[in-house]
Amino acid sequence: MCTLLHVSRSGYYKWRMDLTSKQQRRRTEIMKRIRFHFYDHQKRCGSPKITYALHLEGYKISSRTVSIYMRQMNLRSVHSPRYRVQTTDSNHHHPIAPNTLNQQFQTSKPNTAWVTDITYIPCRGG
């Protein structure tokens, strides 16, 4: 059989004996599970969340070990930048409404002067 498949006898017996250690088999199994969870969550999970998922499956592993394995497999989580609140842009070329009130907030009767600010309302033009 070895001659027919062009395999040496020693190579066949080495394959048959499966000399991988228990630790190496566990490591490859954990790496498969890490890869599964990473792609199952659309590349958004980092090592802490993957560690939590592995703990739920019954594996005892630290977050640091998971991060080392992820680094070896070149798996980096994709994160979106933090939301930055945009303030009013004063440098524009749009027409500015006239200030007819001129800081005179005292009126003689109700509903003669209304003041509001609508710059917080988003629209397509900005």
Evaluate if pTM is beyond 0.85.
Answer: no
Query: Nearest 5 degrees, angle CA 38-CA 44-CA 47?
Result: 60
**Rounded CA gap, 112 and 32, in Å?**
71
Question: Are the C-beta atoms of 60 and 76 separated by less than 8 Å?
Answer: no
Other Cβ atoms less than 10 A from the Cβ of 13: the count is 10
Predicted confidence (pLDDT) per residue in 87-102, tens digit: 767 787 888 878 878 8
Q: What are phi and psi of 101, to 5 degrees?
A: -80, -30
| Domain boundaries along the sequence of the chain | 21-79
Question: Are the C-beta atoms of 93 and 86 separated by less than 8 Å?
Answer: no
For residues 45-63, give the mean pLDDT.
95
Predicted confidence (pLDDT) per residue in 62-72, tens digit: 999 999 999 99
